[in-house]
């Protein structure tokens, strides 16, 4: 599982999982994640947010919600190839637990999510 100059993926996994939940809860900004998301992942999340906005009376902009109190539970990491990480993290808020799966690929010394799914 050699990764060369890439940083430890665990903080990236935890931060991406938390930030994805915040964005989908209207408490975070998708643009702040753009550095760590592949263009396809960014587009998919952006489309999901747009569809939800259209489903909720798009004539009235939805106010930004307060950040939910989130905690990271278990994190599972698997490396099927050099510079590739597949991971799952459980994110808890006050009411439920959600799983976030992702695939990270090493690019130019940093991890970039080429797949991200919130379950």
Q: What does the pLDDT look like over 67-111, one tens digit per residue?
A: 678 999 999 999 999 899 999 999 999 889 999 999 999 999 999
Look at residue 53 in the predicted model and tell me its pLDDT.
74
Question: In this structure, are residues 65 and 27 in contact, taking their beta carbons and an 8 Å threshold?
Answer: yes
All structural domains of the chain with their residue ranges: 9-118
Look at residue 26 in the predicted model and tell me its pLDDT.
84
- Domain over 9-118 is classified CATH 3.40.50.300: no
Q: Which of 56, 44, 9 is nearest to 118 (CA)?
A: 44
Q: What are phi and psi of 23, to 5 degrees?
A: -65, -45
Q: Which of 20, 9, 6 is nearest to 93 (CA)?
A: 20
Q: Is the pTM of this model over 0.95?
A: no
Helix (H) or strand (E) holding 9: helix 9-24
Question: In this structure, are residues 33 and 16 in contact, taking their beta carbons and an 8 Å threshold?
Answer: yes
Look at residue 64 in the predicted model and tell me its pLDDT.
59
């Amino acid at each position: 599982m050699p990764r060369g100059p890439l940083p430890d993926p665990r903080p990236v996994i935890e931060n991406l999982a938390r930030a994805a939940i915040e964005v989908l809860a209207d408490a975070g900004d998708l643009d702040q994640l753009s550095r760590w998301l592949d263009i396809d992942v960014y587009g998919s999340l952006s489309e999901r947010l747009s569809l939800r906005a259209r489903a909720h009376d798009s004539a009235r902009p939805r106010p930004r919600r307060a950040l939910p109190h989130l905690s990271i539970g278990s994190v599972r990491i698997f490396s099927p190839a050099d510079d590739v990480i597949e991971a799952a993290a459980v994110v808890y808020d006050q009411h439920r637990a959600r799983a976030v799966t992702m695939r990270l690929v090493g690019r130019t010394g940093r991890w970039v999510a080429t797949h991200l799914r919130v379950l």
